[in-house]
Amino acid sequence: MKRLMKNKFFFVLLMMGGAYLFSTLLIALFFRPVSAGLETFFLAPFTHRLSLGNWLNRATLYMFSGSAVVLAFQGGEFNLGGEGQICLGGLVTVIFFSFWEPVWALGGMALAFLFSALASGLLSALSGVIKNRTGLSEVITTYLLSMGVVVFSRYFITGPFKDETSYLVTTPPIPEAYRLGEILPPSHLNITFFFALLLIVLLHLFLYHHPGGYEWRLCGINSDFAVYCGIDRRAQRIKTLFSSGALNGFTGSILILGTTHRGIQDFFSGYGWNGIAVSLIGGNNPLLLLPSSLFFSHIAQGTEKMEIIGQFPYPLDGFIMGLVFLVVTSGRLGRD
């Protein structure tokens, strides 16, 4: 297992194959008829344009949130606050467009992206400041701060910004001028799919072909040696967590502008945690985020369709995420 995990490409194939086999076994045990369940699960994204576009759109969001996790892990930090940071980015976007007059679409979207990334980046960087001053692990603080934001978002959406004209628990919709254009209508797939592809390439080039990326990874490989080489570990920790949080905030803004178009209660649910699974499946390698995101989006979409059509009682994506965590952490324990 340890040798296999060093070859990240084959490890990705192993995880994907194992997850599909595990899913098949669960369907065979709990879904009747089995053939219909397997067809629904495996062909879910390919039945029509809507399904195909939504599959790629979810994978896009996973690529962004997975990139945030890769940045943190490669820098030796553990950002478990992705859910709250994505939530905060989405909330900032909703609040921004509640006051911004629809006069300049591109300028409004650019400012929304900027403010969302900045807010979530600062929230994440706060954990780095706390660790530098008190030694309290960022694993704890990123999670606790994230949960605080989630609680605030529920008050925000059900209270002062609730859309009283809607039967849903939601804020008013953002103006149509600021919604990301759809590539495969009526799905939510939009131009950010290409930005996600560009991001993972740029992230790979930075981490593996740039001096700053070498310092970044060195902090994750051997923190003590990084300090010996003259790297300011305290400043690097804040930089790493800020960058990771900013990407999550950007993801939240994209989620609002391209998918939900409003602040629906718990609109962010799953994207932060699944981003961790996507990163781990890809061995924290930026280029492998593409297949792992497509894979996990397929699992999630197939599960949802089975729950709707066949009343399948189990969320397969949750099982798969648990399986990923078990395999990856056991491999790490084996190395330690």
pLDDT at 181 over 80: yes
Q: Which domain holds residue 169?
A: 58-298
* 102 belongs to a structural domain: yes
CA distance 275 to 269: 11
Band (4; pLDDT cuts 50, 70, 90): very low
Q: Is 16 part of a structural domain of the chain?
A: no
Asked whether residue 46 is domain-assigned, the answer is: no
Is the CB of residue 109 less than 8 Å from the CB of residue 178? Answer: yes
**Residue 30, in any domain of the structure:** no
Q: Which residue has the tokens 């809607």?
A: 166
Distance (Å, whole) CA 138 – CA 128: 7
Q: Kindly give the interhelix angle for 138-158 and 82-99, rounded to the nearest 10 degrees.
A: 40
Question: Residue 170 in contact with residue 253, Cβ under 8 Å?
Answer: no
Domain assignment present for residue 34? The answer is no
Average pLDDT over the chain, rounded to whole?
87
pLDDT band with cut points at 50, 70 and 90 for residue 40 = confident
Count of structural domains, the chain: 1
In a domain? residue 314: no
Q: Is residue 151 part of a domain?
A: yes
Residue 273 above 70 pLDDT? yes
pLDDT digits (tens, 9 = 90+) for 145-169: 999 999 999 998 988 888 888 888 8
pLDDT tens readout for residues 302-315: 888 877 776 566 66
Q: Say which residue, 20 or 318, is predicted with more confidence.
A: 20
C-alpha to C-alpha distances, 328 to 4, 120, 222, 275, 283, nearest whole angstrom:
11, 27, 19, 15, 9
Query: What pLDDT band is residue 286 in, cutting at 50, 70 and 90?
Result: very high
